[in-house]
Amino acid sequence: MKPSSSTTPAPSVPEDGTGALSGRAGLFNGIAAYSMWGLVPLFWPLLKPAGAGEILAHRMVWSLAVVGVALLVLRRWNWAAELIRRPARLGLVTVAAAVITVNWGLYIWSVNNNHVVEASLGYFINPLVTIAMGVLLLKERLRPVQWAAVGTGLAAVLVLAFGYGQPPWISLVLAFSFATYGLVKKKVNLGGVESLAAETAIQFLPALGFLLWLGSRGEATFGTEGGGHAVLLALTGVVTAVPLVCFGAAAIRVPLSTLGLLQYLAPVFQFVLGILYFKEEMPPERWAGFGLVWLALALLTWDAFRTAHRNRARAAELAAQLPKPAPDEAAASVEAAPGPETVAATAPEDPAPRS
């Protein structure tokens, strides 16, 4: 609500626990999002005898339907016109759609072909690949511990390649495709629902064309395997959108460091499912490779917490060094400060599009 005058005092921090409730809600949504992503391997086998290509196409088509309904309810369409007017940005969204298509398709194929453990490895090493891409593409500088983590991750890949008899290509493609997707999405800077809507809008026609082609060849399972199977295929849109909505709710309520830790829930669940539910083999060399990956992630996590602690301590030290105004001067500065309406009227326009 707009304040009635520029002298309206700023609202104080609520003392009724509202902030704590919001934080708990954010944590719950974050756990829910990553848990659903971790447990989704249980869903894809239910869609057999549909192949990975058909499942992927249905996921694209029904995801657009789900996010379209969400946008109608939220009445958030301004971003679409802005995106169309910026071809370069639309091109990045197209790249993101292509990369996530590879990621989704390979992941579904991996789960339905007994490679759940190898798929989980891809999401374990994704943070290491993201860091490596930052160095190679964005010329970022790493701290010594980060270098050690990347080196440990590279050693893990070599150990796993020896164990598999070939590079763990499923893990590597999943990790690199998702890291590329994250890099492109950072450049695009769209909200979660809006980004998914734009990407699935680009995927929609090719996906629908593929489904029609399958139908013309008599190879489509939608409508030929019973109503229950058709409903499950339609639910791929819900399975895609609901975790994203929960993630969006978490991202605005919990610290980034908390989200960084929660992201490991998904591959942990996938790894456990691969061993206990899908009964995939774990020979000693695979355990050794995973152990090195987990060591690298532990180094990254420890370094992130240490750096955050140092930054907070440095900020507190700088704040303590600032001269404190006398009481009369502080009161005068409060009276002379512009109100929120004045600040809004004189602030420059935000170049970022509003969703």
Decide: helix, strand or coil at residue 42.
helix
DSSP state, 41? Answer: G
- What pLDDT is attached to residue 337? 45
Q: Which DSSP string corresponds to 17-30? A: SHHHHHHHHHHHHH
Could you say which residues of the chain have pLDDT below 70? 1-20, 22, 256-257, 324-355
Q: Give the largest Cα separation in the chain, rounded.
A: 84
- What pLDDT is attached to residue 154? 86
- What pLDDT is attached to residue 20? 65
- What pLDDT is attached to residue 211? 95
Nearest by Cα to 293 from 117, 142, 140: 117
Provide the sign of the torsion angle of the four alpha carbons 230, 199, 56, 280, taken in this order: negative
The 10s digit of each residue's pLDDT in 26-64 is 888 889 989 999 999 999 999 999 999 999 999 999 999
| Cα angle: 229, vertex 246, 294; to 5 degrees | 95
